[in-house]
Amino acid sequence: MKEQSKYVIIGNSTAAVAAIEGIRSVDQTGGILVIGDEKHFVYGRPLISYYLLGTTDAERMHYRPETFYEDNGVALRLGVRAAKIDPAHKEVTLSDGSKVGYEKLLVATGSRPFDPPMEGIESVPQRFHFMTMDDALALETVLASDKKVLIVGAGLIGLKCLEGIAARVESVAVVDLADHILPSILDKTGADMIQRTLEEHGATFYLSDSVSRFDGNTAHLKSGKEIPFDILVVAVGVRPNTELVKEAGGEVVRGIVTDECSRTSIPDVYAAGDCAESYDIATGTQRILALLPNAYFQGYCAGVNMAGGSERFDNAVAFNAIGFFGRHVLTAGAYTGEAYTEQTADTYKVLFVKDNLLKGFILIDLPERAGVYTAMLRSRTPLSEIDAESLKQSPGWNAFPEKMRKEHFAKEV
């Protein structure tokens, strides 16, 4: 007999947990089944670098308390994958051949590493990705103080990997096609500051360069340089897992297309997390915001709506807090419009203003009260309604008129 659950969730990471919490805020009893291909208890994915760094451990990485699924009446099917969605019969076929019927389905399938074609890659004996706990555990087994590591990709994933392993290996080299590190969140000036910090911790960078060919434990770069290494980590980018929805006839552009209620184009099928697109209010475009908080916002919104409540997530914006060896990089929004810049030897701040709105910002080692800026972005508060000069100098509620302050500090929020 076919298993049936009122709510079925494919995926068991942030968006799934958020959906469970969203569903239970409306419906305390309807059955929830979670299908997850990882065997680990749900953990914060971005914590894998902190695991290798030693600032957390497998137990403390748990994203929710051990009793979370039990407390929320959630049935788990771990170690299996969803193979097919049949929207006409409202059922999901699993990789073990079994079928599960649903009333409401959430697709929270995340993303997978992107491997660009690289000549000779199969000749590299030890190569890794860095997205999951299993990736981190596999990498950990080969780390040793006499090993040289090559990371392809100077983005968020590659450089957090670098931080996690730098003290556990002999050296780390990083290659990236871009002319500066962290191109998705930093401009050249900010990137150069962080690059110096990483170099002080032993990293070597090969920027505006790429691997033209691997030959066993040697990478031959386009520039003609050769890098000998023992361990290769490929962190070039990710691809959303959209196939299930696409094959079921749902609309997919780059990611699964969703509306502000997290619905896909297929009735009763929702999508959230790194597999789904959001409407980014800072850039004004529909795009994937593969960031943990965004996965939560989308997942929670999906859950509430799946359970018959009414929730809209209509102020998505990219924001990122990332640290390297004690330095903190906090960024958000789009880097367009007029730039207001302050730089000291140790700190860097850029605010981007356009159309009477704060559109984006970069803050290096200036974390205090950064959330006031983020809130300005998300609420789209016109700068003309506040003391914009004061806000530019430092984020604070003293830039807001008394009436606005009272709405927040004299009332429940």
Partner 1 sequence: MKRIYVNEEWCLGCHLCEYECAFANSGISDMVRALKGKQIHPLIHIEDSGDVHFAVNCRHCKDPICVKSCISGALSKGKDGIVRIDRDKCVGCLTCVLVCPYGAVLPAPDGHAAMKCALCTDNGRGEPNCVKYCPNGAIVFETREEA
**Interaction site with partner 1 (CB under 8 A):** 18, 44-47, 50, 55-56, 60-64, 292-293, 296-297, 300, 319-323, 326, 328, 330, 332, 367-372, 374-375, 390, 395-398, 402, 405-406, 408-413
Q: Which is nearer to partner 1, 42 or 219 (CB)?
A: 42
Query: How far apart are CB 278 and partner 1 at their closest, in Å?
Result: 15
C-beta of 68 vs 340, nearer to partner 1: 68
State in angstroms the smallest separation of the CB of 43 from partner 1: 9
Q: Between residues 245 and 317, which has the closer beta carbon with respect to partner 1?
A: 317
Residue 323, helix vs strand vs coil: strand
Q: How far is CA 59 from CA 50, 52, 66, 375, in A?
A: 13, 14, 10, 33
Residue with tokens 């850029």: 350
State the nearest-atom distance from the C-beta of 409 to partner 1, in Å.
Answer: 4
Write out the two tokens for 163.
């931080």
In the complex, what is the shortest distance from the CB of residue 341 to partner 1, in angstroms, rounded to a whole number? Answer: 19
- Please say which residue, 215 or 397, places its beta carbon nearer to partner 1: 397
Residue among 117 and 326 whose Cβ is closer to partner 1: 326
DSSP 117-149: --TTGGG-SSEE--SSHHHHHHHHTT--TT-EE
Shortest spacing between CB 343 and partner 1, in angstroms: 20
**What is the residue-wise DSSP string for 72-101?**
TTEEEEES--EEEEETTTTEEEETTS-EEE
The encoded tokens of residue 276 equal: 């789904």
Measured from the CB atom, the residue of 309 and 371 that comes closer to partner 1 is: 371
Tell me the closest approach of the beta carbon of residue 118 to partner 1, in angstroms. 30
Least distance to partner 1 from the beta carbon of 53, Å?
9
DSSP tag of 4: E
Helix or strand (DSSP H, E) at 362: strand 357-364
Return the number of the residue (214 or 324) whose C-beta is nearest partner 1.
324
211: left (phi over 0), alpha (psi -120 to 50) or beta: beta
Q: Do the strands 171-176 and 203-207 form a parallel or antiparallel pair, or are they unpaired?
A: parallel
